[in-house]
Structures are given as structure tokens and as C-alpha cells.
């Protein structure tokens, strides 16, 4: 199909909410042929996080209860499901859950997975390489003053729309690095203020995320003691996110929720550049294989992954190329050009994408507050678009029919992946609650 014949892309151009079903999705086994990453890589990341747990517990006492692991709860939200069916005529069957990454320790967003993992990986490389740590040593020692002095000679830099910068900046500063965060114009003032309070250097740009990354990368390359976290291409970030999958499997088991051919799992994850939803989905595919169906959700003004995957152009297309502004209230998703690395990995795995207009994000936010008393930032609320639309749209219902899922929806589990919110200050929450945008 030529790209001008893809109906979802026509909707994208017209700034209309849409669903795109991925025609290139294969079965799990085929999708892994020639894959550069595997379950073994995820397990290695998991072990690394365990090694760092004593350090994390010391630096961040709020993680003591979880033994230094940064993980979120899986919460049933039946009242939100009922509300979606009543207010939006969603006809959603099965059980709806919220994966509360909004409450992840340290960074208050999904970025506490990938971002913190990458900082720790780099820290381990440096510490082992310079004899600061023995391979079987106590990682708690990295919290000592001598280690801080050592890391103070090194810099970590990242480009961010906000949340990635918070996770890298807070963790980087906690270890002792000089941390520099290059913030795009979309980044909220309170995120910059919070980082500065942690001793992080914030560089501000009046351009979009791509420019902030480009400049950050360039500056980092000029300093041999500087490490740049490359959101668009980083395998480490991706693997940090992927660790979520096995832990989720444990949580489902603990709540006696089956996932198998008779009990399909649907996951809806907000997407910016693609690392977080891509890494999590890749992990979920390793664990649940053909029984999990992963959907990304993006704002109608910045559906970069949809544009990249539907055209096959990946990072060679931007949302401006299809006539969109890239401007959205969903600051965590305000990305114009997708990760080519993630798009290619997801090409045979992703089930599809939903897009959502900004006005609806604030409504979903108020809906969740009213029905479940849980606050999410607007970006995270994009997850609900998948749950609200999957049984309503012709294209997604066809997907369910084709995959023999329609008759199994009553036994299905749906997870809206709540990607952020707990660090949003009270006064900003009040502003969000009063924000009503016109529907297009
Ligand atoms: C970063 C972010 C995402 C998406 O992650 P990407 O890796 O950019 O795709 C989703 N929601 C929130 C709140 C985020 O901060």
C-alpha cells in the first residue's frame, strides 16, 4: 500500500483522532528472527538493578520498603472502566487496570525505569573500569564520599522534554556526577526548578526536543569525561524499560489474573520518541508472546511513531512533514521524530496505535480523579484512549475478529500504562483540573 492510501495517515494529516493497525505484525516467533536483543539481555539488566539495590536504598530511603527496587503497583480501576463505557460508549469488556508508573520512586514517571537504569549502567562501567568497585563488591560503597568525589570528575548530559531529564538529573546528581539537562521549549517550568534544586544544570532551548538533543549531544562530544544519554538510540534505556515485563508477570500472578490464549492481555502505552513504550512492549512480548497485544497512544499533533511506522520511513519522517505542528499539551509526548531503532524493533511486534486530542487528555484526567481518586499528568492519560476506543472503532474490532479475540474479550485484561504524575506540584494540578480545551 502506498502511504497516501493508508487511511490512518489521512486522519493524521487532518488532525483527527484515529486508530492504525500495524499490517506488518507477525507471530512472536517470526518477529524475533534476527532480533538484536533478547530475554537474556533483559535478565542481565534485571540483575544489574539488583546489584544496585543497596545503593539505591541508601540514597533514596523511600525505596527501603521495596528493597531498593523501583517498581509500581498494578491497580484495578473498575469504576473508570464503567465510566468509559457510560460517558464514551466504549463497550469495553474484560477488566481494566492501571500500571501506576506515575508513582515510581525518585522520578515519578516511567523514566524512572530506563533513565535510572542507564545512569547506573554507566556508573558500573566507570567504577569497574577504574577499580573503584570489584565485580562482586558491595554496591552500597558507591554511596560513600570517596565515590562521590570520583564521579564528580564526570558529566552526564541528556536532551529532554522534561521527565527523562528529571530521572537522569536526579539520579546523576545523587551519584555525584555533574548533570546537565538540555530542555526543549515544551518542558514545564516546575520541572526545571525542581532539577536546579537538585544541583542539576538546566540548559533551556526555545526549539523542540530534536534540537535540544542535537545540541546536548554535540556539547557532550566535546568533553571526553562526558556521557550523553541518547534517548533515540539507546539500547540501555530500552532494556531498563523492558525489565518492567517480568515484574508485571509476577504481579498478575499474585493477583491470580491469567494471561494465555483464552485470556488475552491488552496494553496501552503513551508514546513519545518510543523508548519507554517500545522497551516495555518488547519485554512483554518476550514474556507473554502471542497472548499480549501492545498498542501505543500518541497526541493528534505529535503522532511521530505512527507516521514513522505506517510509512516505513521511521526516523526519516517528522510530524511537520505531514503538516502537523508537533505542539501538544502532552509535554511527555511532544516529540516530532520517532526513534528509528525502536520503530524497526516494533515493526513486527506492535499491534497498532491510537491517537488522542489534547482536550480529551484533560477529560480523562478528571474522569480518573473522580472515579478512582488517582491523579495522572495529561501525557499519561493518553493511555485511556486505547481502552476507550478498542471495541468501538471498526479497524480495531476487525483486528480482534481476525485474531479470534472478539469472543474472548470478557476474559481479557486491559492495562492502561500510567506513565507519570506524582511529582506534579499541587498548584499545577489545580491548573490542570481547570483546563478545558475545545474539541476539534
Ligand atoms: C517520556 C514519556 C512517555 C513516552 O516515552 P518515550 O520513551 O518518549 O516514548 C510517556 N509518558 C510520559 C509521562 C513520559 O514522560
Provide the pLDDT for residue 439: 95
| pLDDT of amino acid 186 | 78
For the domain made up of 111-234, the CATH class stated in words is alpha beta
Per-residue model confidence (pLDDT) at position 386: 98
Question: What is the tens place of the pLDDT at every residue in 23-42?
Answer: 999 999 999 998 999 999 99
Q: For ligand 1, atom 11, name the residue with the nearest CA.
A: 419
**CA 125 to each of CA 103, 135, 267, 333: distance values in angstroms, whole numbers, following the listed order:** 29, 10, 34, 31
pLDDT reading at 4 higher than 80: no
What does the alpha-carbon distance between residue 42 and residue 236 come to, in Å, rounded to a whole number?
Answer: 10
Q: Are 85 and 92 in contact (CB under 8 A)?
A: yes
**Binding pocket residue ranges, ligand 1, CB within 6 Å:** 109-111, 163-164, 270-277, 332-333, 335, 377, 379-380, 419-420
Centre of ligand 1 to C-alpha 276, Å, is 6
Residue nearest to atom 10 of ligand 1 (CA): 270
- The answer to whether 69 and 49 have CB atoms below 8 angstroms apart is yes
Confidence of residue 210 (pLDDT cuts 50, 70, 90): confident
Mean pLDDT of 151-170: 94
Contact 423/194 with Cβ under 8 angstroms? yes
Q: Rounded to the nearest whole angstrom, what is the distance from the C-alpha of residue 107 to the centroid of ligand 1?
A: 12
Helices (H), 347-409: 358-372, 378-381, 383-389, 394-402
What was the pLDDT predicted at 341? 97
Element (H, E) at 277: helix 275-288
CATH of 3-107+236-433, one of 3.10.330.10, 3.40.50.300, 3.40.50.1100, 3.30.300.30: 3.40.50.1100
Name the residue with the closest Cα to ligand 1, atom 2: 332
Q: Compute the distance from residue 416 Cα to the ligand 1 centre, in Å.
A: 14
Across the range 203-217, mean pLDDT stands at 89
What is the distance in A from the centroid of ligand 1 to the CA of 407? 33
Q: For atom 15 of ligand 1, which residue has the closest CA? A: 332
- pLDDT at 327 exceeding the cut of 80: yes
Distance 244 CA to ligand 1 centre (A): 15
- Predicted confidence at residue 162, as pLDDT, reads 86
Average confidence (pLDDT) over 304-330: 96
- Give me ligand 1 centre to Cα 333, in Å: 6
The least confident of 156-165, 312-321, 350-359, 414-423 is 156-165
Look at the chain and count its residues.
440
Instruction: Please tell me the distance between residue 327's alpha carbon and the centre of ligand 1 in angstroms.
Output: 15
Residue ranges of the alpha helices (H) in 176-257? 189-197, 209-221, 235-242, 244-254
191 Cα–ligand 1 center, Å: 15
To the nearest whole percent, how much of the chain has pLDDT over 70? 99
pLDDT in tens, 169-208: 999 999 999 999 999 887 889 999 999 999 999 999 988 8
Q: Is residue 346 a contact partner of residue 278, using CB atoms and an 8 Å limit?
A: yes
Residue nearest to atom 1 of ligand 1 (CA): 332
Q: Reply yes or no on whether the pLDDT at 69 is more than 80.
A: yes
Q: pLDDT tens digits, residue range 423-432? A: 999 999 999 9
pLDDT at 218: 95
Label residue 170 exposed, middle or buried (CB < 10 Å: 0-12, 13-18, 19+): buried
Q: Share the mean pLDDT of the chain.
A: 95
Q: Which of 220, 215, 171 is nearest to 195 (CA)?
A: 171
Residues of the chain above pLDDT 90, percent: 93
How many whole angstroms separate alpha carbon 123 and alpha carbon 174? 12
Q: Which of 113, 167, 234, 333 to mutate to test the pocket of ligand 1 (most atoms within 8 A of CB)?
A: 333
Average pLDDT over residues 364-392: 98
Ligand 1 centre distance from Cα of residue 309 (Å):
18
pLDDT at residue 47 greater than cutoff 60 = yes
Q: Which atom of ligand 1 is nearest to the CA of 274?
A: 9
For residue 432, the model assigns a pLDDT of 97
pLDDT at residue number 152: 97
Pocket test for ligand 1, best of 165, 209, 326, 332 (most atoms within 8 A of CB): 332
Intervals of CATH 3.40.50.1100 along the chain: 3-107+236-433, 111-234
Q: Is the pLDDT of residue 392 over 80?
A: yes
- Rounded CA-CA distance 110/260 in Å is 26
Amino acid at each position: 500500500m502506498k502511504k497516501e492510501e493508508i487511511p490512518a495517515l489521512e486522519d493524521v494529516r487532518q488532525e483527527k483522532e484515529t486508530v492504525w493497525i500495524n499490517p506488518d505484525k507477525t507471530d512472536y516467533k517470526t518477529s524475533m528472527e534476527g532480533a538484536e536483543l533478547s530475554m537474556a539481555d533483559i535478565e542481565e539488566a534485571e540483575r544489574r538493578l539488583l546489584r544496585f539495590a543497596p545503593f539505591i536504598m541508601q540514597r533514596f530511603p523511600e525505596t527501603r520498603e521495596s528493597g531498593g527496587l523501583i517498581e509500581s503497583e498494578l491497580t484495578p480501576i473498575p469504576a473508570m472502566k464503567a465510566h468509559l463505557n457510560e460517558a464514551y460508549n466504549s463497550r469495553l469488556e474484560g477488566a481494566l487496570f492501571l500500571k501506576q508508573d506515575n508513582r515510581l520512586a525518585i522520578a515519578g514517571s516511567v523514566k524512572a525505569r530506563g533513565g535510572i537504569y542507564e545512569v547506573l549502567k554507566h556508573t558500573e562501567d566507570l567504577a569497574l573500569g577504574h577499580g573503584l568497585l570489584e565485580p562482586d563488591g558491595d554496591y552500597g560503597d558507591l554511596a560513600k564520599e570517596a565515590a562521590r568525589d570520583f564521579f564528580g570528575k564526570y558529566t552526564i548530559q541528556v536532551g529532554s522534554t522534561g521527565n527523562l531529564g528529571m530521572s537522569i538529573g536526579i539520579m546523576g546528581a545523587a551519584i555525584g556526577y555533574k548533570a546537565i539537562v538540555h530542555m526543549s521549549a515544551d518542558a514545564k517550568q516546575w520541572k526545571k526548578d525542581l532539577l536546579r534544586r537538585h544541583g542539576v544544570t538546566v540548559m533551556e532551548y526555545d526549539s523542540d526536543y530534536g534540537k535540544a538533543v542535537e545540541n546536548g549531544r554535540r556539547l557532550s562530544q566535546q568533553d571526553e569525561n562526558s556521557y550523553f544519554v541518547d534517548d533515540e538510540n539507546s539500547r540501555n534505556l530500552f532494556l531498563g524499560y523492558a525489565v518492567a515485563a517480568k515484574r508485571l508477570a509476577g504481579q498478575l500472578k499474585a493477583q491470580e489474573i491469567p494471561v494465555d490464549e483464552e485470556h488475552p492481555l491488552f496494553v496501552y502505552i503513551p508514546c513519545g520518541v518510543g523508548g519507554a513504550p517500545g522497551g516495555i512492549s518488547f519485554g512483554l512480548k518476550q514474556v507473554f508472546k502471542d497472548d499480549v497485544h501492545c498498542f501505543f497512544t500518541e497526541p493528534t499533533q505529535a503522532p511521530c511513531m505512527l507516521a514513522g511506522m505506517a510509512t516505513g520511513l521511521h526516523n526519516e519522517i517528522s510530524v511537520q512533514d505531514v503538516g502537523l505542528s508537533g505542539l501538544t499539551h502532552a509535554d511527555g509526548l511532544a516529540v516530532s521524530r520517532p526513534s528509528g531503532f525502536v520503530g524497526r524493533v516494533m515493526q513486527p511486534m506492535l499491534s497498532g496505535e491510537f491517537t488522542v486530542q489534547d482536550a480529551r487528555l484533560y477529560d480523562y484526567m478528571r474522569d480518573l480523579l473522580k472515579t478512582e481518586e488517582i491523579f495522572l499528568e495529561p501525557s499519561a492519560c493518553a493511555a485511556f484512549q486505547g481502552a476507550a476506543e478498542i471495541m468501538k472503532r471498526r479497524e480495531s474490532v476487525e483486528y480482534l475478529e481476525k485474531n479470534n479475540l472478539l469472543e474472548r474479550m470478557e476474559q481479557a485484561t486491559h492495562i492502561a500504562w500510567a506513565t507519570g504524575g506524582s511529582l506534579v506540584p499541587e498548584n499545577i494540578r489545580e491548573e490542570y483540573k481547570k483546563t478545558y480545551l475545545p474539541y476539534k
